[in-house]
A and B are shown apart, each in its own frame.
Chain A
Amino acid sequence: MRYRQELILFLAIIASMSFQSCISPAPHTKPHHKVRIKQMKFVPDSITVNIGDSITFINKDVVSHDVTEEKSKKWTSKTLKRGETWSMIASEDVNYFCSLHVIMKGKIRIK
C-alpha cells in the first residue's frame, strides 16, 4: 500500500514536470546568421539583423580571408584559412571588408 502511494506520488511529480515543460516558453535563443566567404565574395554581402544577433563567417574559398571593420578597423577576425570560421555579435550598422583582398566588401545593418 505504502509503495503504491509512493509510486503514485512519483508518477504525479513526473507528470507535473512534463506538463510544465510543455507550457513554459522555451528559453529565448538569439537568431544565428551565417555569411559564407566563397569565390572572393561575402555571401550574402549585406545582412539585416537585430542587436545581439550572432553572425558566423565561414571561409569556403580556396584562399585565406579575414573580416575587418572598414572605417577604422576597430575589430577584425584573425586570418581565416579555408574551412575556418569566426563569429561576432551584431551591435551597430557596420561596413566590413577583407583586408587581404581589399575589394571584397560587406555590410551589417541593424533592424
Chain B
Amino acid sequence: MTLVSPVRKDFPILCSPEGEKDLVFLDSAATTQKPEAVIRRISDYYRYENTNIHRGSYPLSLRTEEYFEKARRTVRQWLGAPRAEEILFTKSATESLNLLAHSVLSAWAGPGDNVVVTELEHASNYYPYREQCRVRGLEFRVIPAHTDGTLDLTAAKALIDGRTKLVSVTAMSNVTGFSPELPPLIQLAHGKGALVSVDASQAVAHHRINVEELGCDFLSFSGHKLYGPMGCGVLYGKAGLLERMPAFLWGGDMLERGTDGSVICRDAPGRFEAGTPNLEAILGLAAAIEYLDEKNFPILLAYERELSEQLLEGLKAVPGLCLHGPEGLSPIVTFSMEGYGAYDVGTFLGAAGVSVRCGAHCAYPLMERMGLESSCRVSLGIYNDSHDLDLLTERLKELGRRGYVHRGKAAGILPPVSGTL
C-alpha cells in the first residue's frame, strides 16, 4: 500500500523549489521540519510584533505579553497540566533538565541521598544528574537496560529506596524508540517518597501525553522536536513543587521588590525564566501545537504507525541489515549494515539525499549496553511517506550490493557475471 502524507505539502523544505531538492528526511528525532504555519508565525512576530515583554508600558509590549501567556496556556492544554503556572519556558529540554537537576536537588537532597536515572537516557537526562551528584556528594544510581535496549524494571526495585530523591527517566529512547512502562516506575518511586521527572523529548511527537494521567512530577521536552522552532524548551512541574525550588538562572525578569522593599525572586513560572525569553520560538511552538491540533494529531499518529509498519517491513527485506533494539513497531529504528560502519551507511545514504543519523546518538550508556560502537537511526515524521521509505531501502540494498563486490574483490573472488554460471 502506498502511504501518502496528509501534511507533506505544508512543509516548505520538502516541497518548494527553493528547498533541498529530493530531500528524504528521516532524522526527525534530531529535529523535525517546520510547517509553513510555524515559519509564518516567527516571521510575523518580527515583522509586526517584536518587542520585549514584562518591561514596556506601551500597547505593543502588552500585546506581545498576551501572546506569550497565551502560548503558555496552549502548552498547558497540550500536556493536560492543571495550571498554566506549571509550564516553564526554557531554551531546550537540555536546559530544562539541567534546571531540574540543580533546583530539585538543591531543594530536597542532602548527604546520603541518591538520584536514579536509567541506561536508556540521552546525555541530557544523564550527565546533569551525574554532575550534580558529584558536586553535592550524592549517590548516582543507574537502572540498567537489557542488551536489547529494554529496561530492567526488576533492578529498579533494588535501586529506588527511601533515600532516593528523584528518578529521571525517558518516555521514549532516542536510539530505539522503546518506551519504558512509566506508570509502575512512577508508582514505585512515589511509594518510596521520590519525585519523578520524565524526559518526553522524543515521546511528545509520537504520543499524546497527559501529565495528570501519567502522574509524573516533572516533564520536559524541546519544541523543535514537536515541529516547532529551535530555541524553546518546556518544563512542566507540579505547582507545589516549583514553589519550593530555588532559581537556576539569575538576572532580569525573575526578581521583584518584596513588601519590605528588598529584592526577591518571583513565584513560578517567572522565577525560572530569567532574561529575555526566546519569544519567537515560544510563539512558534504554540503555532506548531495549534497546527497539530488543526490537522488532528491522533489521525497523524495513526498515519505514522502505518508508516512505522512499512518501515520495519522494508528494513527487514534489506540483505545484510541488522536491526537493533526490541521487537515491535516504532517510528525510531536503529540498525547497522554488515561490512560497513554506521558512518559509511549515513554518508552513502546522504549522497542520494536520504538523511539519517549515524553515531552514538548522545546515548553512550545505552550504546555500550547494546554492544554497539555506533549505529544508523531512521526516525519518522508526519511528512514522510512510502516514497521516502522506498528510496531508503533501495539505497540500502544498493550499498549491500556494492559491499559484496568489494568484499569479494578483497578476498580475490569475483562476483558472477549476470547470465552465466
Q: Do A and B come from one complex?
A: no
Chain B residues within CB distance 8 Å of chain A:
none
Chain A residues within CB distance 8 Å of chain B:
none
